[in-house]
Amino acid sequence: MKIMTCPLNGPRPVSEFFYWGELRPMPNPATASDDAWADYVFNRNGAPGLKKEWWCHTPSNTWFIAERDTEKDVVLKTYFYEGDQ
């Protein structure tokens, strides 16, 4: 059983969680080039490696960030989103 640690509820089986995609900073739509905006809207990075991703603990609806190594399938750490940094 894979275990993920919710920053609020603690370690739980991954079946209690929902994946919502990679954390991707949005370019400013007013100033971004068409290519940069199209890249943001349409393209996703599927290459394995270190990723920051949105996850949700569904029984409590707790949203947080998980840093995962998708090549080794390892969760490195989880924490609450604190805005763009």
Complex with another protein: residue 7 or 27, whichever CB lies closer: 7
Residues of this chain that interact with another protein (CB under 8 A) are: 8-9, 12-13, 15-16, 57-62
Instruction: State the minimum distance, in angstroms, from the CB of residue 26 to another protein.
Output: 24
Complex with another protein: residue 13 or 29, whichever CB lies closer: 13
Distances from the Cα of 78 to the Cαs of 20, 44, 62, 63, 67, in angstroms?
14, 22, 12, 10, 6
Instruction: State the minimum distance, in angstroms, from the CB of residue 12 to another protein.
Output: 6
Exposed (0-12), middle (13-18) or buried (19+): which is 16, by Cβ within 10 Å? middle
